[in-house]
Amino acid sequence: MKIINLVLNNFTNDSRVLKTSNSLQALGHYVTVVAIHENDLAVREDLPNEVGVHRIPLLTRRWSRNRLVQVIKLIEFIVKFIFTYRKSDILHCNDLSGLFVGVICKLTNPGMPIIYDSHEFAINDVPNQSRWSIKLKFVLEWFLIKFAKQVICVGDSIRNEYSCLYGIPKPHLVLNCPPYQEQSKHDFFRETLGIRSNQTIFLYQGGLGKGRGIELLLEAFSDLDSDTNVLVCMGYGLLEDLIQERAKQQKTIYFHPAVSPDVLLNYTSSADYGISFIEDSCLSYRYCLPNKIFEYMMAGLPILTSNIFEMKHLVETEGVGIVAKENTIEGFRRAVSASLQQNYFAIQKNVFAAREKYCWEEQEKVLKEIYDAL
């Protein structure tokens, strides 16, 4: 089948869309990722496994970010997308924005099935979101999800909510895990950042934005009596400048730029512990099970998490780390202390066992079931 994997970003760091496309291509389908074009990126390219990529250029791309102008940009994208891909066999729509475009395209070809792959709890996905915004997104998703042949979610809590909210069968669960590999240990952070061998490295990797607990982590690693424990933040985002400034002021904080997905785990394995300290500031964060959790495990790292349901359940069930009792600066500092009192190699043994279950090879079995049924 000719499958269009639609995502409304520039498809440069979207590992889930890439993994999904690779799996569907390996199952014998013809897959094209359709995204939005940005400067210096190829409009069309073929990935090594023959997955095609088409970034649609927009004449309105350089226009302002005014809300009305953003609507005009979306209309241009939709028109170009429908003109090119309305005769595809299946649309795999990522996130609510992708579903919106996909449903409009389906109206021109009613027989074309839509798969809705929701990467988060879409209707409440940002901190401090207004009630009207949540209600508007709920009404939009409630209407659009009726057009989806199948729905995929990234966590058990989210798919339970979707089933209750929209009166649909429980969606399929496809966790955002990396492909399985027996990752060897590296030491890139010590080599490039000048961290001593007797210092313990706590790594935060991923998006450097609000709601990820980054400001709290910076405070927790500031003004310490000892530099025995250090924080490395690796990624990109709005808080990048703040982290770099704090790194100049504190000998226990380091910044490392984001790296490409193909070498990510080499860098991840260069730390001693992985951190996922998401704030409970919206339902999407409350229900989240971030891909960094699985990346840490695949790299062999014990994990420290905030007290958020899905992360807490995974870490405690599999015995792969420590959950902070309180989502505060002192709560995190106590979690660091508790983690250092654990038997590191016993916890790491649990991590190695868990990564055999939480790998992409297990998740793509669900994709195969979905597409075989079509």
Same domain, 227 and 265: yes
User: CA 132, CA 95: separation in Å to the nearest integer?
Assistant: 20
How many independent structural domains does the chain possess?
2
Instruction: Please tell me the predicted confidence (pLDDT) of residue 261.
Output: 82
Residues 6+ apart with CB under 8 A from 154: 16, 118, 119, 120, 173, 174, 175, 176, 289
Query: In which band, very low, low, confident or very high, does the pLDDT at 132 lie, cut at 50, 70 and 90?
Result: very high
Q: Is the pLDDT confidence value at 66 over 90?
A: no
Q: Is the pLDDT confidence value at 12 over 90?
A: no
Same domain, 142 and 198: no
User: CA 323, CA 302: separation in Å to the nearest integer?
Assistant: 11
**0.95 exceeded by the pTM?**
no
Query: In which band, very low, low, confident or very high, does the pLDDT at 262 lie, cut at 50, 70 and 90?
Result: confident
User: CA 188, CA 236: separation in Å to the nearest integer?
Assistant: 18
- Check if the beta carbon of residue 41 is closer than 8 Å to that of residue 55: yes
Q: Is the pLDDT confidence value at 260 over 90?
A: no
Instruction: Please tell me the predicted confidence (pLDDT) of residue 126.
Output: 87
Residue 183 lies in a domain: no
Same domain, 143 and 263: no
Residue 182 lies in a domain: no
Q: What is the mean pLDDT of residues 191-201?
A: 96
Percent of the chain with pLDDT over 90: 88
Same domain, 229 and 276: yes
Query: By C-alpha distance, which of 348, 344, 341, 340 is closest to 300?
Result: 348
Residues 6+ apart with CB under 8 A from 309: 157, 286, 287
Can you give the length of the chain in residues?
Answer: 374
Question: Tens of pLDDT along 217-227?
Answer: 999 999 988 99
Residue 249 lies in a domain: yes
Same domain, 148 and 6: yes
In the chain, what is the straight-line distance between the N-terminal and C-terminal CA atoms, in Å?
10
Instruction: Please tell me the predicted confidence (pLDDT) of residue 13.
Output: 80
Instruction: Please tell me the predicted confidence (pLDDT) of residue 329.
Output: 92
- Check if the beta carbon of residue 165 is closer than 8 Å to that of residue 137: no
Instruction: Please tell me the predicted confidence (pLDDT) of residue 195.
Output: 96
Instruction: Please tell me the predicted confidence (pLDDT) of residue 212.
Output: 87
Residues 6+ apart with CB under 8 A from 91: 3, 4, 6, 85, 102, 105, 106, 112, 113, 114, 115
Question: Tens of pLDDT along 285-336?
Answer: 999 999 999 999 999 999 999 999 999 999 999 999 999 999 999 999 999 9
Same domain, 226 and 139: no
Query: In which band, very low, low, confident or very high, does the pLDDT at 62 lie, cut at 50, 70 and 90?
Result: confident
Query: By C-alpha distance, which of 55, 16, 26 is closest to 38?
Result: 55
Strand segments, DSSP code E, in the chain are 2-6, 30-36, 44-46, 52-56, 90-94, 114-117, 150-153, 172-173, 200-207, 229-236, 253-257, 273-276, 303-305, 321-323
Same domain, 17 and 117: yes
Helices 95-106, 67-85: crossing angle, 10 deg rounding: 50
Q: Parallel, antiparallel, or unpaired for β 30-36 and 2-6?
A: parallel
Same domain, 197 and 152: no
Instruction: Please tell me the predicted confidence (pLDDT) of residue 106.
Output: 97
User: CA 174, CA 172: separation in Å to the nearest integer?
Assistant: 6
Range of the structural domain that residue 141 is part of: 2-177+360-373
Same domain, 364 and 303: no
Say which CATH number the domain at 138 has.
3.40.50.2000
Residue 201 lies in a domain: yes
Same domain, 92 and 36: yes
Same domain, 144 and 168: yes
Same domain, 145 and 201: no
Residue 269 lies in a domain: yes
Residue 289 vs residues 107, 197, 310: alpha-carbon distances, Å: 34, 31, 6
Q: Is the pLDDT confidence value at 281 over 90?
A: no
